[in-house]
Structure 1
Amino acid sequence: MLTIRVSQLSDIKGCLECLKDSLLADNYFQDTGKVANGIMNAIEKGEVYVASNGEEIIGVMSIDYNGMFGEFPILRLISVKRTHRSKGIGSLMLEYFEKAGFSKSMKIFLCVSDFNTRAKLFYLKKDFMEIGKIQNLYKEGITEFIMMKEKNQE
């Protein structure tokens, strides 16, 4: 059974394993020491969540509830361990972010890199809209697409 919970410092190895062999790692996270420090800082702030199947951590995400314009929740990171991808875990984690984010705001945000075309299609299918782009935000030559989803007014 999959559970999603707030991460603890003891989860750092599992978090790093989820990022391993990912497009994010290939393009942004070459320095594992720097990545580990960043994740540890986010864990200390209570911003990191892990998905676990009871035996191991198989997914990681980071949510900053006031990260977009100091007011709106933003999904800073989401990654599923390579051996568990394409099994619906990312969808469950995104649903968790949506529920948590919409409990605090009518709008939620995320950024997706231009090299991550499968992820962008995934977010579009989940009703996120591309609302802008920023070239060279984190790394020269890479464009980040800003995506937003609004809470349904039913």
Structure 2
Amino acid sequence: MSVRPLRPADVPALAPALAALPLMARYRRSADAIAADLAAALARGDGLLAWEAGGEARGLAWFLREGTLGVGGYLRLIALAEGAQGGGAGAALLAAFEAEVAKASRHAFLLVSDFNEAAQRFYERHGYARVGALPGFVLPEVAELVYWRRLR
């Protein structure tokens, strides 16, 4: 099990595994939409890290290294396929994201859905502070909670 850069060859198997997650269903993200988003992100050079287990990508961290509020990196998504949660993969992906961002910035930002209490607890355990909310930012009935952590 390890964290490594996401490869284009990972996307066809990873996208359906992520689309099956309740979070992706809530945001109406199909396997095809996820695959297209990841292909575009790879082409742009976004930060994309894979959690690999058993020789295949079972999760990812998708991020921007800098630019958020002019001072920090932004974690777009950490997602782990069913069965990959709870074993330290999320923490490893988060640490790898922070290490990449820390090369250019002292700040990391992310958004968490107001209904996703498990993710809120995860980020708070890793030193992130809730600093605001964006009501209806993505879905009209959901507030996206803004989290921040000073790096280095």
**TM-score (normalizing by structure 2):** 0.90
Alpha-carbon distance in 1 for matches of 2:91, 2:126: 9
- What corresponds to 1:32 in structure 2? 31
- What corresponds to 1:151 in structure 2? 151
Q: How many residues align?
A: 151
- What's the offset of the Cα at 1:36? 1.9
Alpha-carbon distance in 1 for matches of 2:24, 2:103: 31
Q: What does the per-residue CA deviation read over 1:38-90, in whole Å, with 9 as the maximum and x for residues that have no partner? A: 11101212322111124211111101112412441110011011111111110
- What corresponds to 1:118 in structure 2? 118
Q: Which range moved further: 141-150 or 99-108? A: 99-108
| 1:3-152 mapped onto 2 (5 Å cutoff) | 3-47=2-46, 48-152=48-152
Alpha-carbon distance in 1 for matches of 2:80, 2:17: 5
- What's the offset of the Cα at 1:18? 4.2
Gapped regions of structure 2 (runs ≥ 5): none
> Do the aligned residues in 2 keep the contact of 1:113 with 1:144 (CA within 8 Å)?
yes
Q: What does the per-residue CA deviation read over 1:17-53, in whole Å, with 9 as the maximum and x for residues that have no partner? A: 4413323212113433222211110121232211112
Alpha-carbon distance in 2 for matches of 1:114, 1:90: 19
Alpha-carbon distance in 1 for matches of 2:86, 2:126: 15
> Do the aligned residues in 2 keep the contact of 1:29 with 1:35 (CA within 8 Å)?
no
Alpha-carbon distance in 2 for matches of 1:73, 1:30: 24
**TM-score (normalizing by structure 1):** 0.89
Alpha-carbon distance in 2 for matches of 1:71, 1:107: 7
Percent identical across equivalent pairs? 23
Gapped regions of structure 1 (runs ≥ 5): none
SS at match of 1:51: strand
CA-atom RMSD in angstroms: 1.6
> Do the aligned residues in 1 keep the contact of 2:108 with 2:148 (CA within 8 Å)?
yes
